[in-house]
Amino acid sequence: MLKKWIPLLGAIAVALPLSMPQAAKAEQLTLCWAAWDPANALVELSKDFTSKTGIDMKYEFVPWTAYADRFLNELNSHGKLCDLIIGDSQWVGGAAENGHYVKLNDFFAKEGIKMDDFVPATVVGYSEWPKNTPNYWALPAMGDVVGWTYRKDWFERPEIQKEFKEKYGWDLAAPKTYDQLKQIAEFFQKRQIDGKTVYGASLYTERGSEGITMGVTNVLYDWGFQYENPKKPYDMQGFVNSPEAAKGLEFYKSLYDCCTPPGSSNVYMVESADAFKSGQVAMQMNFAFTWPGLYKDEKVGGDRIGFFPNPAEKFHFAQLGGQGISVVSYSDKRDAALQYIKWFAQPDVQAKWWKLGGYSCLKAVVDAPDFATSQPYAPAFLESMAIVKDFWAEPSYAELLQAMQKRVHDYVVADKGTAQEALDELVKDWTEIFKDEGKI
């Protein structure tokens, strides 16, 4: 989300400061982000900013494994390394309440930047604190969401289609519901394809950072899990641990138990993508930022790969990823940093951002008539961004996340207790955290 405290998927983004003849007189901005493929695209995009303004860009890109620790420590120490930062969606609450980010309302009003011009879910997820109030601390920068890829070439084989239809009574295709997804996963589990044993699906199970939470929430949301009582903030009893939520957690475990490859107890983005690229699985859960690279893959990309949004059950949601771009309040170059935000918000810049491999959140880009046909994964991205829900963005989100990681991993992977017990304990954990904060 956000995201991710993981090894990077592509080449680590490295960039030297860009220079212009007048650079000696111009300011230089340092932009901080994770080291991954979208960061490389942003370096290329930002050459236009330097060309137009004479302001050099320097980059501090940190691997996902160190991303949160490195930059949250930088912010908490009031450091001046970062003038601009693309921070996780969950950082917004803490960054706003602790004064790390510049509030952008007056700047947006002055420059005519309207949050109504961006996909609503990204404004709530990346920019607002408190949530659902017009208080903005970031510009939506990198849309992302959990979705799925599948081996379209396997699904389309006539003999596989015939056998599947005979067994399940419906035509094999990208699943619309979780029941369908599980049937497909069961069908492919330990099947021989081209002389190789393959498996049903790759799921997020990683324990150390946020992986299993970013996976299991997709299912929990669809069964009815809610973070709190909509009418009473921080009232979690019967919402986090409702019987329906417990059934969703049971389903995720059943999918993990029945249909994942051997050694799948610590899977996150890199491992899931690798399982797909190696031809090991028929389907894989992963964030949309991985899709461009997978589509270009020589072995599984092109006509071999298909994309679909998170399936539905009683409800239909998907876990939000992605980030907003903020001006760090401790920067001595605030005006130049705001100039970058203004430039980045322009429709033509956002359109180029999408073409280079970034995921624009601007309606003018994603609602354009040709967007759905601009990339094979564009329709799934659009559908997915319309159903997003995010994890807590509270200042205490790291503690909240750590508690959920433990409870769901203990149940799903380590086989400890029941789903209901796991969620009951999670309510106790979260209640204690919010009591310590004085919010309960």
Q: How far apart are CA 64 and CA 67, in angstroms?
A: 5
Q: How far apart are CA 347 and CA 105, in angstroms?
A: 19
In the chain the domains, ranked by start, together with CATH numbers, are 28-144+321-389 (3.40.190.10), 146-319+395-437 (3.40.190.10)
pLDDT at 13: 39
pLDDT at 66: 86
Distances (CA, A) of 287 to 29, 147, 321: 29, 6, 7
Provide the whole-model pTM. Answer: 0.91
Closest CA to 255 of 213, 285, 287, 280: 285
Q: Average pLDDT of each block of 10 consecutive residues along the chain (440 residues)?
A: 38 38 62 95 98 97 90 96 96 97 98 98 96 97 98 98 98 98 98 98 95 98 98 97 98 98 96 98 97 96 98 98 97 97 98 96 97 97 96 94 98 98 98 96
pLDDT at 20: 36
pLDDT at 7: 37
Q: What is the pLDDT of residues 96-108, one digit of tens each?
A: 999 999 999 999 9
pLDDT at 256: 98
Q: How far apart are CA 390 and CA 125, in angstroms?
A: 7
Instruction: Give me 346's structure tokens.
Output: 């322009």
pLDDT at 23: 36
Helix/strand/coil for 190: coil
